[in-house]
Each structure stands twice: as C-alpha cells, then as structure tokens.
Amino acid sequence: MDASDAGVQKGAARRARLRQYQEQLLERMQAARTSSGARAHQLGVEIGGVRYLLDLVEAGEIVPLPPLAAVPLTQPWYLGLANVRGSLLGVVDLARYLDPETAPNALPGAGARLVTFAPSLAFPCALLVGRVVGLRHAADMEPADGGLRDAEGQEWTPLSLAALAREERFLQVAR
C-alpha cells in the first residue's frame, strides 16, 4: 500500500467516525425531543462567562468557528457572515448583544464554536459560544433567581432561540 492509499483510507475512516458521531448525536436529540413529550434535555453553553441552556429543538449544529466575512455598517454584536456547509449564516456575539458595554472578543478561545439555529426556525443565524458544556437535564436542576441551579451550584439561564429570533432589536443588524 502506498502513501496515497493510506491517505484515502485515513480520510474514509475519519468520515465514517464523523458520520457515526452525527448519527449518535441525532439519536440523542430525537430521544430528548420525544421523552415523555417534555423537552427535558438542553444544550449547555457558555457565552461571555454566563452559562445558558438551549432547547435541543431550537439548536441546530455545533460547528468549529469558520472564517467570518465582515459586513459593514452593522451592529457591533453582529460579527459577520459564515459559510456553514454551503449556507451563509449571520453570526452574533450574544454577550455583546445583551450587554453593549461588553468588550469585543478579539480572539475567540480554542473552545469557541458556532451553534446554529435549528432549520425549523427558518432563521439563518448562529451564536458564537465560548464553550459547549454538553447536554444538561433541566429536571435535575432547581429554580434560582430567574434561572436554574444544578447540583454543583452552577447557575444556568434558559435561552429560547425562537424568542430571540423574534426580537425586534435582534432583527435590526444594520446601524
């Protein structure tokens, strides 16, 4: 076997692992959506040092941060456009959207990802997240100050991407 054959096999193995991971994630998301008719599982993310819970029905893909194309004359929290699997998505820095006084993230950390809005929302947008924490089970948390507190004492803020997509200010990206 020469080097080109080894490279082809390595690429095929990588694609197979990625496909298996995506299928497992899809199964978990579907199980979370249908478990007892309740949306008990959420995706935990950190944005601007704050922990948020995103409903799996509203969250789409989690992708590494691609290059962004700046869009002139837009709000400081609108970071630009990203090409995700051939679709152009607007990318929003939610920390700056919620608190305009927040300093811009000049260089996102190694754990930074984009969480896209689910296709069912028909809203081509993604949020820049500093870190994806993983699946959380809201039923295991207690109410605390308008949010939830987990067993470790960490506070989580539920965030509805569908509600965000309907906010007038969020829709006005032009300056």
Q: Mind listing the pLDDT tens digit for each residue in 33-64?
A: 554 444 468 999 999 999 999 999 999 999 99
SS3 of residue 119 by DSSP: helix
pLDDT at residue 36, rounded to an integer: 46
Return the residue matching tokens 């990802």.
113
Give the sign of the dihedral formed by CA 52, CA 145, CA 48, CA 153.
negative
What residue type is assigned to position 51 of the chain?
R
Is residue 124 scored above 60 in pLDDT?
A: yes
Measure the CA–CA gap between 40 and 165, rounded to whole angstroms. 22
- Using alpha carbons, select from 44, 48, 56 the residue that is nearest to residue 147: 44
**CA–CA dist 151, 142 (Å, integer):** 8
DSSP lists the bridge partners of residue 44 as: 53, 134
Q: Quick one: pLDDT at residue 26?
A: 61
For residues 17-38, give the mean pLDDT.
58
